[in-house]
Amino acid sequence: MKQTLLFLFFLVLHPLTACAAVQRGQDQLDMKIGQMIMVGFRGTTLQEAPDLREDITKRNLGGVVLFDYDVPSKSSGRNITAPDQLRKLTRELQQAAAVPLFIAVDQEGGRIARLKTKYGFPESVSAAELGQINNPDSTYRSSLITAETLANTGVNVNFAPVVDLNSNPENPVIGSLERSFSSDPAVVSVHAAATVKALCAKKIVPTLKHFPGHGSSTTDTHKDFTDITMSWDKTELEPYRKLIGDGYSGFVMTAHVYNANLDPIYPATLSKRIITGILRDSLGFSGPVISDDMQMQAVAAHYNLSKAITLALEAGVDILLFANNSSYDPEIAQKAISIIHSLVDKGMLTPERIDSSYRRIMKLKQQYLNSSP
């Protein structure tokens, strides 16, 4: 009580200092919220992306995701055209940022590769092919080539490995694209571990995806609501259980899949039962959780932006990903940050909740982005 009175007395006597303290607190909140957003953009140089530059310099943006193909305009050359160009772009991005950026790509291998041979990058092997070979050393060597390629071009996050089980080979977004190592969770765990080891060796942040499992789906969350209630099996959690138990540090990416047996109301990205209850409390994951693209139709077609952000943060998501490659909105980061500020101002989201995400994000950045391999 005495300390509180002394503090209030100090503020009355020193209003300018009080205003400065409030401003510092606001600046810190701005920094923390900005770090919780990752966006995609158009441009092969930072000069071509003035909105992004403003997001980085004025809104403390935490990360970006890069693509070689722009889906809305159906055109190539969105962010990636050659190794030298990509290296220059990532250097420009980092130079503009007060806090080192997460710079991410989907470089899984095979058909899901943003760094393609036609742009001058090494050929990559799909997870399905590596799983069929079933030699962890081969997977490690292949993944190490990918890791070296990413590191040499300034990319520091790979949205890989996929740990979805190939339980439905006809799955339009996993099995049919050869993105899964195997239908056997033990095989998936071994090859995912080899991939993670290779990425970590070159200080590339790995990403286990898509939690709690997308392998059994018959529809694509990019396009609409995806219900896995009748097809999902608890064995799909085993790769997460194994890797987390072995000390995995990196991202876990959510899936926008709906499973009424896990949560009768919300899809996984928006579900506290799934993200906090299963991933954190049951499996013990303490690192940052990143959403799959919040603009995908499985979320965007059923929840407005404010509701989706509110539910995702309440669920336990730390970084909201807006890939800007299903639809394109150059102001999406500004909108998302404004919504989060509003949630804090209204008391719907506590500063402590923001702090918890910020600590996880900064711990990962310190681990991977502050030292060379």
Q: Is 302 a catalytic residue?
A: no
Q: Is 325 a member of any domain?
A: yes
Q: Is 222 a catalytic residue?
A: yes
Q: What is the rounded CA–CA span in Å between residue 296 and residue 299?
A: 6
CATH for 70: 3.20.20.300
Least confidently predicted of 222-226, 299-303, 314-318, 350-354: 222-226
Identity of residue 286: S
Q: Is 70 exceeded by the pLDDT of residue 5?
A: no
Q: Is 337 a member of any domain?
A: yes
Catalytic residue among 222, 256, 263, 293: 222
What is the H or E stretch that residue 208 is in? strand 207-211
Catalytic residue among 106, 292, 293, 318: 292
Q: How many domains does the chain have?
A: 1
Taking residues 284-303, what's their average pLDDT? 95
pLDDT of residue 4: 36
Q: Is 25 a member of any domain?
A: no
Contact 261/232 with Cβ under 8 angstroms?
A: yes
Q: Is 3 a member of any domain?
A: no
What ranges make up the beta strands (E) of 1-66?
37-40, 63-65
Q: What percent of the chain has pLDDT over 70?
A: 92
pLDDT of residue 118: 96
- CA nearest to 299, candidates 264, 256, 341: 256
Q: Is 90 exceeded by the pLDDT of residue 348?
A: yes
* Residue-range definition of the domain harbouring residue 125: 38-369
Taking residues 10-34, what's their average pLDDT? 59
pLDDT of residue 259: 97
pLDDT of residue 26: 66
Q: Is 267 a member of any domain?
A: yes
Between strands 251-254 and 289-290, the pairing is: parallel
Contacts of 253 (CB under 8 A, 6+ apart): 159, 207, 208, 209, 210, 211, 289, 290, 291, 292, 321
User: Does the bond joining 161 to the residue before it have cis omega, within 30 degrees of 0?
Assistant: yes
Q: Is 5 a member of any domain?
A: no
pLDDT of residue 227: 94
Q: Is 80 exceeded by the pLDDT of residue 19?
A: no
pLDDT digits (tens, 9 = 90+) for 225-235: 789 999 999 99
- CA nearest to 240, candidates 208, 267, 262, 217: 208
Q: Is 22 a member of any domain?
A: no
pLDDT band at 324 (very low <50, low <70, confident <90, very high): very high
pLDDT band at 219 (very low <50, low <70, confident <90, very high): confident
pLDDT of residue 248: 98
Q: Is 32 a member of any domain?
A: no
pLDDT of residue 223: 74
pLDDT digits (tens, 9 = 90+) for 144-175: 999 999 999 999 999 999 999 999 999 999 99
